[in-house]
Amino acid sequence: EPEFSDDFHQIMTWADEFRTLKVLANAETPTDAHTAKGFGAEGIGLCRTEHMFFDDERITAVREMILADDEAGRRKALAKIQPMQKADFLELLSIMDGLPVTIRLLDPPLHEFLPHTPEDIKHVAEVTEVSEEKLYKRTKELSETNPMLGWRGCRLGITFPEIYESQLRALFEAACDLVKQGKSPKPDIMHPLVATREEMAKLTTMTHAIAREVIEASGVALEYKVGTMIELPRAALLADRLAETAEFFSFGTNDLTQTTYGISRDDSGRFLNPYIEAGIFDKDPFVTLDQDGVGALIKMAAEKGKATRPDIKLGICGEHGGDPASIEFCHKAGLNYVSCSPYRVPVARLAAAQAAIRNA
């Protein structure tokens, strides 16, 4: 954990006396979680579980899973992945003991995980004993023209439920093991890229079913929440329906900005500067929240969510969660927390305090 001077602590303590927004961090590694906690994060607001699978050994297991052409093949790969996930969750929940840890189920834009080179295919062929030719064919079948608008997020969990079930099992087993050790894990399960009430209802039912099974088998008591990211305009427009089963919303403003403007978050740079020079944009909307457009969707979704479920927990976990002007907007919109990169936690604590003072 980082070490700080007494002055730093004093200033942060003053800030904390004023702010009403909680400040959580986006983290998926123990290093990030320790850093975040050292900077004063009050939990993890976004653990992107797909980021836990980028290293060489693990990515082959994920490739094996997505390239499998039937459920049995996916389950075989998941049998390798599940213990790794359980170990990951044990560690994160331990570091953040007593604080909320928001685990977002797999949201891999498939192109990031599909094999990129013949070597990648070879590795998968070696472990699966499936021919390279077949793996090439499957890779081609799964390649999308617009992966960021494709088979992403909960669409993967709905079409291949065994993937989310395996992650949920790993998470609840880890949490129950920690309860047995006298710890207080607080997992929040978050579903990505939800657009419809039916998706949310199905995913919530799945989550409770696995939770019940694991909790009953372990014989301990465990509290958890199930919620959704709001990162599509449709989700914001119909947030009252999502709140029928979602206990919290987390605004994924990276995707929400992308889908509201219809501008690719990966390619926006190409015309962003000319747009700023021409005075059409005053700022990069992927850095500073577009309060008029994306912000209107956030306010609407917050109101609709509260109308259905008055105690709904509301937060933001896009990059904007660490930007002072956007944090002030979140304060005014009545959100409960912001979640940002670990190194932005002190800035967010100060910005949240300044927002509270300015708007008192």
The residues that touch Mg ion, with contacts defined as CB under 5 A, are: 231, 252, 255
Task: Give the pairing type, strands 186-191 and 44-48.
Answer: unpaired
Q: Name the DSSP class of 182.
A: T
Tokens at residue 277, please?
């020079």
Question: Is 317 designated active site?
Answer: yes
* Residue 28 interacting with ligand PEP (CB under 6 A): no
Residue 196 CA to residue 237 CA, distance in Å, equals: 10
Could you tell me the smallest distance in angstroms from the CB atom of residue 107 to Mg ion?
6
Give the nearer residue to ligand PEP in terms of CB position, either 243 or 256: 256
Is 231 marked as a binding-site residue? Answer: yes
Is 255 flagged in the annotation as binding?
yes
In contact, 97 and 37? CB cutoff 8 Å: no
Nearer to Mg ion, 88 or 255 (CB): 255
Contacted by 272, from ligand PEP, Mg ion, none: CB < 5 to 8 Å by type: none
**Piece of the chain touching ligand PEP by CB under 6 A; list 76-84, 130-138, 207-215, 252-260:** 252-260
Angle at 301 between CA 203 and CA 20, to 5 degrees: 105
| Pairwise CA distance, residues 204 & 226, whole Å | 7
Contact between 259 and ligand PEP per CB under 6 A? no
CB < 8 Å & 24+ apart, contacts of 158-161 = 158/199, 158/202, 158/203, 160/71, 160/74, 161/206
43 interacts with ligand PEP by CB under 6 A: no
Q: Is 231 an interacting residue with respect to ligand PEP (CB under 6 A)?
A: yes
Q: Give the one residue of 19, 22, 37, 48 binding ligand PEP; rule: CB under 6 A.
A: 48
Q: Which residues contact 209 (CB under 8 A, 6 or more apart)?
A: none
Q: Burial letters for 159-183: b for 16+ Cβ neighbours within 10 Å, e otherwise?
A: ebeebbbbbbbbbbbbbbbbbeeee
Give the Cα separation of 119 and 56 in Å (integer): 12
Compute the distance between CA of residue 207 and CA of residue 196 in angstroms, rounded to an integer.
Answer: 17
Q: Which one of residues 15, 27, 46, 135 is an interface residue with ligand PEP (CB under 6 A)?
A: 46
Q: Is the dihedral of CA 282, 285, 287, 289 positive or negative?
A: positive
Angstrom distances, CA of residue 30 to CA of 90, 96, 174:
10, 10, 15
Contacting ligand PEP (CB under 6 A), which of 179, 232, 317, 335? 317
Say whether residue 253 binds ligand PEP (CB under 6 A).
yes
Residue 204 beta carbon to ligand PEP: minimum distance, rounded to whole angstroms = 20
Give the span between the Cα atoms of 256 and 77, in whole angstroms.
32
Instruction: Return the residue matching tokens 């956007």.
Output: 326
- The interface partner of residue 317, options being ligand PEP, Mg ion, none and the CB cut-off 5 to 8 Å by kind, is ligand PEP
Of the residues 47, 154, 176, 317, only one is catalytic, namely 317
Burial class (CB in 10 A: 0-12, 13-18, 19+), 38: middle
Of 233-241, 249-257, 298-306, 330-338, the window that binds ligand PEP (rule: CB under 6 A) is 249-257
Among 42, 188, 255, 328, binds ligand PEP (CB under 6 A): 255
User: For residue 341, what are its two tokens?
Assistant: 């990169």
Task: Using the minimum distance from each CB to ligand PEP, give the nearer residue, 47 or 243.
Answer: 47
Least separation, in Å, of the C-beta of 191 and Mg ion?
11
Residue 48 annotated in ligand binding: yes
> What is the total count of residues that contact ligand PEP (CB under 6 A)?
10
Closest separation in Å from C-beta 109 to ligand PEP: 8
Q: Is 254 among the annotated ligand-binding positions?
A: yes
Q: How far is the CB of 253 from ligand PEP (least distance, A)?
A: 5
Cβ-based nearer residue to ligand PEP, 68 or 256: 256
Stretch that binds ligand PEP, among 87-95, 170-178, 210-218, 250-258 (CB under 6 A): 250-258
Closest CA to 351 of 316, 314, 326: 326
Q: What is the binding site for ligand PEP (CB under 6 A)?
A: 46, 48, 107, 231, 252-255, 317-318
Binding residues for substrate: 48, 104, 231, 252-255
Which residues are part of the catalytic machinery? 317
